[in-house]
Amino acid sequence: MIGKNIIRLKEVNSTNQYASQIIKKGNIDEGTVIITSNQTSGKGQAENKWESEKGLNLTFSIILTPSFLPIDKQFLISKISSLAVLGFLKKLFVENASIKWPNDIYIGRSKIAGILIENSIKGETIDTTIIGIGININQTQFSSEIPNPTSLKMLFNKNLDLNECLDIFLQEINEWYNLLKFNNYSFIDKEYLNSLYVFNKWSQFNYLNQKITARIKGVSKYGKLLLEKEDGNNIECDLKEIKYLI
């Protein structure tokens, strides 16, 4: 069960890095959670940093061993992680939450959470997975380099208990991971697609340094974004090729 074993750290450079180190030592239980009050060098997607003020947010990593999952379906881990954060927000009665591909979590046009997945492959299966998650809970002041942050306190104007928030999230991720174990791929795919930010809406993107108007039509099984351009042509792109302009 995810969260049965929780390692609590006062401070660490990165919970994902810490998780990677203890995996190398061996004998780590699946579902172990590493959480810290102060992450000094948190990582985000595409070499970005994750900013989190000490003691105000949830910054943690989860270790899984999904050897049952074929390599070509590894993006499903990203999907269930994103959907778990959405489920957590819905249980707190947060509205207008969506997944900005591949796995940033937005409230309206503001980012409230980020996810970093690191998989280790062995043979033709996934040996270990580290799911790094940062959720803005009680922080209200952010660096000017962060373009569009929000937090639960900014939404509700009150502090939330971090341990209670973690418990709610762990319930969600356990449910989604069980769905993955029992091969509910089509349900996961459908829920993820329906939760995508600006899904099927004509929007502005920067694709290979050119501004285009396109709409999101889907995501490939390898996690690439599928877009339909105004001229009817379809393109498939990865994270380094595309940028939202909204």
Q: What is the pLDDT of residue 76?
A: 97
Domains of the chain are: 6-194 (3.30.930.10), 203-244 (2.30.30)
Structure tokens at 216: 């999101």
Looking at per-residue pLDDT, the higher value among 175 and 47 belongs to 175
114-154 pLDDT per residue, tens: 999 999 998 888 999 999 999 999 999 998 778 899 999 99
Q: What's the whole-number average pLDDT of the chain?
A: 94
CA distance 244 to 100: 9
111's tokens: 């980012």
Which residue type does 227 have?
L
Residue 44, pLDDT score = 61
Rg from Cα positions in the chain? 18
pTM: 0.95
Q: Which two tokens stand for residue 151?
A: 């937090």
Instruction: Name the residue among 110, 119, 113, 39 with its Cα closest to residue 83.
Output: 113
**Identity at 152, one-letter amino acid code:** L
Residue 47 has pLDDT above 60, yes or no: no
Joined together, the tokens standing for residue 237 give 């792109």
- Give the span between the Cα atoms of 221 and 76, in whole angstroms: 8
Nearest Cα to 87, choosing from 192, 218, 219?
192
pLDDT at 49 over 80: no
